[in-house]
Amino acid sequence: MSRLTLSQAAWLALYPSVLALLLLAVPARFADLTADGAGASLLRPAGGAYAIALFGLEVLVLGWYVANTLLMAWRRWNDWVALYVSIGGMTWMALALPELDALTAADPRWAMPVVAAQWLGAAMPVLYVLFFPDGRFVPLRAAILVVIWPVTWAVTAALTPGSFGLLTMPAARLGFWMAWVTASLAAPLYRIRSAGPIVRQQTKWIVLGDFVVFGGIVLVLPARFIADGDLPFWLRSPVTLPLYIASLSALAFGFTMAILKNRLWDIDVVINRTLVYGATTAGIAIAFFGGIVVLQAILRPITSGSEVAVAISTLVSVALFQPLRERVQRTVDRRFYRSRYDAGRTLDAFSIRLRDEVDLDAVRADLIDAVRDTVQPTHASVWLRR
């Protein structure tokens, strides 16, 4: 049986099943958000109009994924990679959205199909970044992860009982999954450097979507493990949960743009900013929460609460933002935009020489050298009127 036939059969079996499960969970999620007397939590941080707005956002993101994944399957039915991604998009919704967690809470009889859908939702994203968009593993040795990852994920799942939802799974399981996802992102970054122009542009769309979603996950993590009262307002669940839900839409958009290949716009600037600010945000978050943990341990004998530690950590994070952003910007430019980085350094060096140069012949020679190093034309000359 060919990969295409197997993918088509898997799509017909899995896609409608997971979609039906998600649609069945929508009323349960609405009832959970609007229930009277339920305590506040990450999945329902507030009630009233906020609950209605959050529910509307979740339904909107789910509808966005349904539309994009159906469009992929319809336009690329004879492309096994597109069908795999289409299935992965639906199972990703089962993992990332809180709808299925609400369904199992309302009716535990749905626990088995929910666990299966969420397990696939966690397993498939790690794999498709290894061979997307052309179905080839780059580098070739990455193919071994197709065997290693599902086995290790199954073993980890068996050793860490609990929910499989991204917002509710145990910390050990979540940490293991995020470590694998982070490691797997090396494959598309490698592909960007070695592939042809079309595949490179396709991969850039996926990297953009991955980093936006990863940023949303990192943003909502503090509210999972720290009480809202111990967090600054901008990191509390009523703020971070909608941002996390909205960030999920970026991945569907990136895959649709990459697969349909209609006008692969140059998104280098967008990706550059996403890499810089995503890495900066992650660094600030690590510094902030690491600072809280360290300062609480130091100040616990002196102060009874955590307000002082939070305040000091916040001030340090604010002070670190600009220096960290500039350092990350230089690193990203040097690592992923080497020609542009070298061109910038060449122009800077030329401007320094120009300030001290008075000989027109020397200026002309320096200018031609700078143009050749940055623009790399087939021919360059300068005409100076004396």
Question: In the prediction, which pLDDT does 265 show?
Answer: 44
- CA–CA distance, 235 with 205 (Å, rounded to integer): 28
DSSP secondary structure, 253-267, as one string: HHHHHHHH-S-----
pLDDT range class, residue 170, cuts 50, 70, 90:
confident
CA distance 214 to 95: 14
Six-digit token string for 217: 């996950």
The distance between the two most distant Cα atoms of the chain, rounded to a whole number of Å, is 89
Contact by Cβ (8 Å): 384, 360: yes
Q: Which residue has better confidence, 292 or 59? A: 59
The residue that leads in pLDDT, 377 or 283, is 283
Kindly indicate the confidence band of residue 262, based on its pLDDT and cuts at 50, 70 and 90.
very low
Residue with tokens 């690592």: 335
Q: State how far the Cα of 51 lies from the Cα of 145, in Å rounded to an integer.
A: 41
Amino acid letter, 336:
F
**Annotation: CATH topology of 3-264:** Rhopdopsin 7-helix transmembrane proteins (1.20.1070)
Average pLDDT value over all residues in the chain: 77
Name the residue ranges covered by the structural domains of the chain: 3-264, 267-336, 341-374
Asked if 22 contacts 62 with a C-beta cutoff of 8 angstroms, the reply is yes
Distances (CA, A) of 348 to 269, 339, 343, 351: 21, 14, 9, 5
Least confident range from 18-27, 160-169, 301-310, 327-336: namely 301-310
Checking if the pLDDT of 203 tops 50, the result is: yes
